């Protein structure tokens, strides 16, 4: 039986990944501090004894023994708040970079040979080539979050080549759906519940990005693990189109059944410091492997809005 450890497995994407791993019949251990994740996201699996939860911070000790005998680690635990990283970067340096280093060290000590890591499209910075392929250079992140993820990628590459590990690195577009606790859709729903007449939109509303529903994301992650044989694999995961923020607002307003909502824009091409106004990833490498996204950005947004309203 395959034995997978999922750091951050009680969070948004992590819990959906756990659902899929359990569905594949794997033994699953989740390591999560529950600072951002929730035990409720794993409830049915915990109740049925299909998943073991180790409540721990990766910067602490004691959790490392949970890796003994594991086949691979899915490392999702991170501080994902891009906006906050421009205000107080210390959390992302510690939780993302040092957390990843400690996971890699625990893997080395316990002889776990495989790691799947969730990176981000923000490692590309403001790419001059859109859709952006995995071999695009130079990688010049404009946010501390993007920089921290790029540093993690470098650490993982070095451990693969130094200690014979194998890795799958996923550079995500905007992943959305049920259980998500942050992002533009969450913000819009919250704001409209507080004031159903006026919606504040950060920036000019023309920021255009790729979005992918979380179940499609998880399908791509597992497809890569099953079919990419190289020692160090890097894949973009996203849809093959994009949608702008104003269109997202229209979808949220419509799904909430509201009419006459006025939009108030804060102005400027960026929503916040470190925001990348235009982003779409090239997914040709995943297509060559045999995977392609089944839905586009607007459909992903609509599906996510409905799930989050439920």
Catalytic residue numbers, as ranges: 145
Q: What is the DSSP letter of 133?
A: P
Categorise residue 172: left if φ over 0, alpha if ψ from -120 to 50, beta otherwise.
beta
Q: Are 14 and 4 in contact (CB under 8 A)?
A: no
Q: Taking Cα atoms as reference points, which of 239, 252, 259, 240 lies closest to residue 205?
A: 252
Which residues have CB under 8 Å from 165's CB, separation 6+? 104, 107, 108, 113, 114, 115, 156, 159, 231
Q: How far apart are CA 39 and CA 189, in angstroms?
A: 23
Local structure of 115: helix, strand or coil: strand
- Token digits of residue 199: 């919606």
C-alpha distances in angstroms, 96 versus 64, 72, 141, 146, 257? Answer: 17, 19, 15, 10, 39
User: What angle is formed at CA 224 by the lines to CA 106 and CA 171, rounded to 5 degrees?
Assistant: 75
């Amino acid at each position: 039986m395959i034995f997978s450890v999922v750091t951050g497995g009680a969070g948004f994407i992590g819990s959906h990944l756990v659902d899929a791993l359990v569905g594949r019949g794997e033994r699953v251990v989740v390591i999560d501090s529950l600072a951002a994740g929730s035990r409720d996201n794993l409830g049915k699996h915990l109740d049925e004894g299909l998943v073991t939860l180790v409540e721990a911070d990766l910067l602490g000790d004691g959790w490392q023994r949970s890796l003994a005998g594991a086949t691979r680690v899915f490392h999702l635990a991170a501080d994902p708040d891009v906006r906050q990283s421009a205000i107080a970067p210390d959390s992302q340096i510690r939780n993302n970079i040092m957390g990843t280093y400690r996971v890699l060290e625990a893997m080395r000590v316990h002889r776990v040979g495989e790691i799947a890591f969730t990176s981000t499209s923000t490692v590309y910075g403001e790419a001059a080539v859109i859709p952006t392929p995995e071999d695009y250079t130079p990688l010049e992140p404009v946010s501390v979050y993007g920089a921290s993820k790029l540093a993690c990628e470098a650490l993982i590459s070095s451990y693969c080549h130094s200690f014979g590990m194998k890795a799958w690195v996923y550079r995500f577009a905007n992943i959305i759906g049920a259980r998500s606790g942050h992002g533009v859709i969450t913000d819009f729903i919250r704001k409209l519940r507080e004031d159903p007449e006026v919606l504040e939109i950060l920036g000019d509303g023309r920021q255009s990005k790729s979005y992918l529903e979380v179940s499609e994301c998880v399908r791509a992650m597992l497809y890569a693990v099953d079919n990419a044989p190289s020692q160090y694999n890097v894949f973009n995961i996203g849809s093959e189109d994009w949608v702008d923020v104003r269109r997202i607002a229209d979808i949220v307003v419509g799904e909430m059944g509201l009419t006459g909502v006025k939009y108030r824009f804060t102005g400027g091409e960026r929503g916040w410091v470190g925001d990348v106004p235009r982003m779409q990833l090239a997914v040709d490498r995943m297509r060559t492997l045999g995977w392609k996204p089944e839905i586009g950005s607007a459909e992903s947004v609509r599906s996510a809005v409905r799930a989050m309203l439920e």
